[in-house]
Amino acid sequence: MTQSAFKHTRLSARVISQILIAHPAYEIVLHAPDIAASARPGQFVMVTTIEDGVELRRPFSIYRASRDSGSISILYLARGSFTSHLAQRSPGDLVELIGPLGNGFSVGEMADEEYLLVGGGVGASPICFFARTLVRNYPELAANERLTVISAARTATLLVGVTELQESGFDVMVVTDDGSAGEQGSATDILILELDRRITSKNAPHKIVVYACGPMPLLRRIAQICLERNVRCQVSIETSMPCGVGECDDCMVPMNLARRTEPFTRACCVGPVYEADELLWEDSDTP
Ligand SMILES: Cc1cc2nc3c(=O)[nH]c(=O)nc-3n(C[C@H](O)[C@H](O)[C@H](O)COP(=O)(O)OP(=O)(O)OC[C@H]3O[C@@H](n4cnc5c(N)ncnc54)[C@H](O)[C@@H]3O)c2cc1C
């Protein structure tokens, strides 16, 4: 995986719109042409604010990036104080951003690959950006049914981007914990069924690649499912990330020394997307 060249822009972005999707989920659209021009799926921005004279930063995956309109958007849950303040920003207000940051999802030999994209909760944000980008760049993927999105959430109102993906012709499998939309169950139940169906099918000419983003326990289980089946998997991890630009060591994640030479890497610069087998998965909520 290529390492980010630490090239990023710091700017004041004007709020274009602030859309309440379903409390506590919001999409904020920001005028940020420099970021929109280079953002790739899986990359993130640091939103910064000053509180009591101290700069606070929080990472958010890029949900949309449009070169044409020079805008990006992020999807977030207004839960704690940072995101609740962000939800109070109105069109015309300025938001300080650093980005685009980190390394995003990557594709291999397109011709013989089939993609299963899994997004859990707000983790579906970079997965939706990736799905839209794949189909724009490689329309044959959708035409040949080689791209499937599994979108999971606790309940229907917390599903991200599903209607829009379905209206664009994507094969989206929906699963909720409470059964309020799609199948009742978990993303991993569906993933196991879909992987095993493809692996055992006599007409399965393609290599399967899984891409996932969501809470760490979900990613750990997805990684395990894929590694057991020898299926390539990339995960975008969420970890504590105070600075986002490689200046502090708080986002260090342990690596699998069978695959990497360094015992730890900074998720902000080397990640947040990793090959699942590069990470050392432990029995806690961080890899
Ligand atoms: C690469 C990446 C992408 C992400 N993308 C999204 C996204 O698209 N949408 C989304 O809703 N969330 C995303 N997150 C998570 C998000 O950055 C934080 O969970 C969120 O900002 C917390 O805000 P809050 O208002 O709920 O809590 P806060 O009030 O900001 O914080 C609550 C407590 O948690 C600590 N804390 C919270 N976040 C961080 C952090 N990043 N680093 C260090 N300490 C922290 C604070 O110090 C405080 O003690 C992402 C995280 C990462 C690493």
CATH of 9-101, one of 1.10.287.3510, 2.40.160.40, 2.40.30.10, 1.10.600.10: 2.40.30.10
pLDDT score at 264: 96
Q: Has residue 282 got a pLDDT over 80?
A: no
Cα(52) to ligand 1 centroid in Å equals 19
Taking CB atoms within 8 Å and a gap of at least 24, the contacts of 197-201 are 198/114, 199/229, 199/231
Q: Probe ligand 1: pick from 58, 240, 268, 270, max atoms within 8 Å of CB?
A: 58
CATH code for the structural domain at 110-236: 3.40.50.80
Question: What is d(CA 157, CA 24) in angstroms, rounded to the nearest whole number?
Answer: 9
Each residue of 202-234: pLDDT tens digit?
666 578 999 999 999 999 999 999 999 999 999
Contact of 114 with 207, CB cutoff 8 Å? yes
Chain centre to alpha carbon of residue 77: 14
Classify residue 248 by its DSSP letter.
S
**Residue 28: both structure tokens together:** 């904020």
Residue 5 has pLDDT above 60, yes or no: no
Six token digits for residue 77: 């849950």
pTM of the model: 0.92
Residue limits of CATH 3.40.50.80 in the chain: 110-236
Ligand 1 atom closest to Cα of residue 86:
25
Index of the ligand 1 atom closest to the CA of residue 82? 25
Distances (CA, A) of 173 to 59, 153, 191, 215, 225: 28, 12, 10, 18, 18
In whole angstroms, give the CA distance from residue 17 to residue 12. 15
Which residues touch 267 (CB under 8 Å, ≥6 apart)?
102, 237, 239, 241, 251, 252, 253
pLDDT of residue 1: 36
Q: CATH 2.40.30.10 in the chain: give the residue spans.
A: 9-101
CA 263 / ligand 1 centre spacing (Å): 25
Q: How far is the CA of 251 from the centre of ligand 1 (A)?
A: 12
Is the Cβ atom of 138 under 6 angstroms away from ligand 1? Answer: no
The pLDDT tens digits of the residues spanning 91-140 come to: 999 999 999 999 999 987 766 789 999 999 888 999 999 999 998 888 88
Residues 6 or more apart whose Cβ sits within 8 Å of residue 223: 233, 235, 276, 277, 279, 281
Does the CB atom of residue 35 touch ligand 1 within 6 A? no
Q: Which residues pair with 72 in a beta bridge?
A: 30, 65
Measure 59 CA to ligand 1 centroid, in angstroms.
6
Rounded distance from Cα 45 to ligand 1 centre (Å): 12
Distance 58 CA to ligand 1 centre (A): 5
- Measured from the Cα of 236, ligand 1's closest atom is 1
Average pLDDT over residues 268-272: 96
Judge if the beta carbon of residue 17 lies within 6 A of ligand 1: no
Distances from the Cα of 121 to the Cαs of 36, 92, 243, in angstroms?
A: 24, 29, 24
Flag whether pLDDT at 287 surpasses 70. no
